[in-house]
Amino acid sequence: MERINSANELEALRKSILSSRDTNKPCITICSGSACHASGSKEVASRIEEEIANQGLSGTVDVRKTGCHGFCEKGPIIVIHPEKICYFQIKPEDVSEIVTETIIGKKIIERLLYTDPATNEKIVYESEIPFYKNQERLVFGSNGSIDPKNLDDYLAIGGYSALAKALFQMTPGQVVEEVKKSNLRGRGGGGFPAGSKWEGSRNAPGDIKYVIVNADEGDPGAYMDRSLLEGNPHSVLEGLTIGAYAVGSHEGYIYVRQEYPLAVENVTTAIKQAQEYGLLGKNILGSGFDFTVKVHMGAGAFVCGESTALMTALEGRAGEPRPKYIRSNVKGLWNRPSVLNNVETWSNVPLIINNGADWFTKLGTESSKGTKIFSVVGKINNTGLVEVPMGMTLRDIIYKIGGGIPGGKKFKAVQTGGPSGGCLPEELLDLQVGFDELTKAGSMMGSGGMIVLDEDTCMVDVARYFLEFLTDESCGKCVPCREGIRQMLQTLTKITQGKGKEGDIELLEELAETAREAALCALGKSAPNPFLSTLKYFRNEYEAHIKEKRCPALSCKELIAFYIDPKKCQACTTCARKCPSNAIIGGKNLIHMVDQEKCTKCGTCFEVCPPRFSAVKKISGEPVPDPIPEEARIIVRGGKKNE
Partner 1 sequence: MDNRVDQITDKHECQCGHSDNIEGLSDRVDQIIDKHNCEASSLIQVLLEIQSENHWLPKEALDQVAERLQVPLTRIQQIATFYKAFSLVPKGRHGIHVCMGTACHVRGAQRVLDTVENLTKIKPGETDLDLKFSLETVNCLGCCALGPVVEIDGKTHGKMAPAEMADVLKNYE
Residues forming the site for partner 1 (CB under 8 A): 33-35, 37-39, 72-73, 75, 217-223, 226-227, 258-260, 296-302, 313-319, 375, 377-379, 383-384, 415, 418, 449, 451, 453, 457, 462, 465-466, 469, 475, 557, 578-581, 600-604, 607-608
Distances (CA, A) of 233 to 41, 154, 344: 20, 9, 11
Q: How far is the CB of 349 from partner 1 (least distance, A)?
A: 24
Beta partners for 125? Answer: 85
Q: How far is the CB of 398 from partner 1 (least distance, A)?
A: 14
156 vs 295, which CB is nearer to partner 1? 295
417, 375 in Cβ contact below 8 A?
no
- E strand or H helix that includes residue 358: helix 357-361
Q: How far is the CB of 35 from partner 1 (least distance, A)?
A: 5
CA–CA separation, 160 and 7 (whole Å): 10
Helices assigned H by DSSP within 82-171: 95-97, 130-133, 151-156, 161-169
CA–CA separation, 236 and 189 (whole Å): 18
183 vs 308, which CB is nearer to partner 1? 308
Beta partners for 563? Answer: 617
Residue 255 sits at φ, ψ, to 5 deg, of -95, 105
106 vs 294, which CB is nearer to partner 1? 294
Q: How far is the CB of 298 from partner 1 (least distance, A)?
A: 8
Q: How far is the CB of 90 from partner 1 (least distance, A)?
A: 15
- Of 451, 474, 475, the C-alpha closest to 463 is 451
Q: How far is the CB of 229 from partner 1 (least distance, A)?
A: 11
- Of 554, 508, 550, the C-alpha closest to 533 is 508
CA–CA separation, 147 and 473 (whole Å): 35
383 vs 514, which CB is nearer to partner 1? 383
Q: How far is the CB of 174 from partner 1 (least distance, A)?
A: 34
337 vs 384, which CB is nearer to partner 1? 384
73 vs 153, which CB is nearer to partner 1? 73
143, 227 in Cβ contact below 8 A?
yes
Helical pair 459-473 and 529-547, crossing angle rounded to 10 deg: 130
- Of 193, 197, 198, 210, the C-alpha closest to 337 is 210
For residue 208, the tally of other CB atoms under 10 A from its CB is 13
Residue 616 sits at φ, ψ, to 5 deg, of -85, 130
CA–CA separation, 363 and 547 (whole Å): 48
Helices assigned H by DSSP within 55-171: 95-97, 130-133, 151-156, 161-169
DSSP assignment of 601-620: ---HHHHHS-TTT--EEEEE
27 vs 451, which CB is nearer to partner 1? 451
31 vs 544, which CB is nearer to partner 1? 31
Q: How far is the CB of 179 from partner 1 (least distance, A)?
A: 29
223 vs 399, which CB is nearer to partner 1? 223
278 vs 319, which CB is nearer to partner 1? 319
39 vs 145, which CB is nearer to partner 1? 39
CA–CA separation, 111 and 238 (whole Å): 40
Distances (CA, A) of 423 to 222, 386, 407, 528: 15, 19, 22, 12
Q: How far is the CB of 449 from partner 1 (least distance, A)?
A: 7
Q: How far is the CB of 326 from partner 1 (least distance, A)?
A: 21
Q: How far is the CB of 202 from partner 1 (least distance, A)?
A: 25
